[in-house]
Amino acid sequence: MRIAIDAMGGDNAPDEIVAGALETIELLDENDELILVGPKDVIEPRMPSLKSYRGAISVVHAPDVIAMDETPIESLRRKPKSSIGVIARLAKRGQADAVISAGNTGACVAAFQMRMRNLPGVNRPGIAVVFPTFEGPVTICDVGANIACKPIHLYQYAVMAGLYSQYQLGIENPRIGLMSIGQEDAKGNEVVKKTRELMKSDPNMNLVGNIEGRDIFQGVCDVAICEGFVGNVILKLTEGLVDGLFKAIKHELMEEKPRLAMKFKPVMKRIYKKYDYNEYGGALLLGVNGAALICHGSSKAKTIKNAVLAAKKYYTEKINDKIIEYLSGTPVSSETPNGILAQTPVRTTDG
C-alpha cells in the first residue's frame, strides 16, 4: 500500500515527521511505500540517501504549507500546492491508499472530504478518536467533522466506528452507546431520539442504549456516538481536564511534599503515555475512500509511526470494504420513517 504523509504538518514538522516516517520503514512489507509530501528542499536534506531504502520511500514536492492557525477552506483555496492539499489529491487520483497529517485539523478534514470520495452508502464522513480508558479503549465518533448531524449520519457513524472497534482494535461485537443526557429512552433531544430508533431497527447492532458523559470512562460501551459539536467539546474538555488535574496534583504535592512530587513524576508520565490517544495514531476520518489519519498538532516521531501502523492495519483489515458491505445490507436508510422498519426496500429519490 502507498501511504502519503504530510511532512510539514504540526508543531514539530518537518524533523519529527520525517524521523517518524523513517522509523516505520523496517516494519513495512515489501510492497509498501511511504510518500513524504512537502517542499523538496526542506525534506530531502533531512533524509539519508534515498537509495538505501530500495524504493520504500519517496518525496513528492509541495511548495506551500498551511499554518496551524489558518482558516481551513480559505487556505486550501489560496494554497492549492500545500502539503495537505497534495496528499488529498494523491488519494483522489488513487496514488495513495492512506493519508496522514499532523497539520491544521480543519484543513485536513476539509481537504480529505473534498478530494476523497465518500464510500458507497455513506452520507457524511465522521471523525473517530480512541479514548484509552481504564476499562479499555472507547471509540468516539464524530468529534468535529459534522456539526449538523442527521439521525442517519449518526447511525452510519455507529456502523463505521463499530467495525473500526471490531477489526482495528480487536473488540468482539463492540457495544454501541448513544451519547445523551440520561439513560432512559425518553431522554435526549430530537436527533438523539430518532437516531436511537434507527439503531434499534438494525438487528445487527449491539446497542447498549443511551449513555451519559461519565459512562465513557466506566466500561459501559466500546463505541460512543455523538454529533460533531458535542464530540469536539468532549475531546477538548478531556484534554484540558487531564492537563488541569495533573497541574493541580503537581501543585498540591509541591506545596506540601516536594519529595513526594519528585517520586510521583515518573508515575504521571507513565499514566499520560498509557492514556494518550496518540498511541492509536490520531483521529481517523471514517467514511472516505481510503484511510485518512489526522494526528495531534504536537505529534512527535512516535505518533507518526503509530499512524503509519494504524493506516496499514486499517488497509490490511479491509475495514472500508466491511463498511460498504454492512451498509449495503442494512435495512436502515435515511428514508426509514421514524425508525419504523420499512417492509419493502426503500429507494432514495435520486437513485
Residues of this chain that bind a copy of itself (CB under 8 A):
71, 106, 133-135, 144, 147-148, 179-182, 184, 186, 188-189, 212-218, 226, 228-230, 232-245, 247-249, 251-253, 256-257, 260, 263-264, 267-268, 270-271, 274-275
111/147 Cα distance (integer angstroms): 17
Burial class (CB in 10 A: 0-12, 13-18, 19+), 49: exposed
- Closest CB to a copy of itself among 249 and 340? 249
Are 283 and 231 contacting, i.e. CB atoms less than 8 angstroms apart?
A: no
- Written as one string, the DSSP assignment of 17-34 is HHHHHHHHGGGS-TT-EE
* Least Å from the CB of residue 119 to a copy of itself: 25
Q: What angle do CA 104, 300, 32 make, to 5 degrees?
A: 90
Residue number, 53 or 275, with CB nearest to a copy of itself: 275
Q: Which is nearer to a copy of itself, 74 or 321 (CB)?
A: 74
- Cβ 93 to a copy of itself shortest distance, Å: 30
Of residues 94 and 182, the one with the C-beta less far from a copy of itself: 182
Count, residues in the chain: 351
Q: How far is the CB of 246 from a copy of itself (least distance, A)?
A: 9
- Alpha-carbon distance values, 331 to 26, 121, 344 (Å): 44, 12, 9
For a copy of itself, the closer of residues 56 and 253 by Cβ is 253
Query: Least distance from C-beta 248 to a copy of itself, angstroms?
Result: 5
For β-strands 2-6 and 98-101, DSSP reports them as parallel
Question: Smallest gap, in angstroms, from Cβ of residue 223 to a copy of itself?
Answer: 16
- Residue whose CB is less far from a copy of itself, 27 or 114: 114
What's the closest the beta carbon of residue 278 comes to a copy of itself, in angstroms?
16
- In angstroms, the CA 296 to CA 106 distance is 12
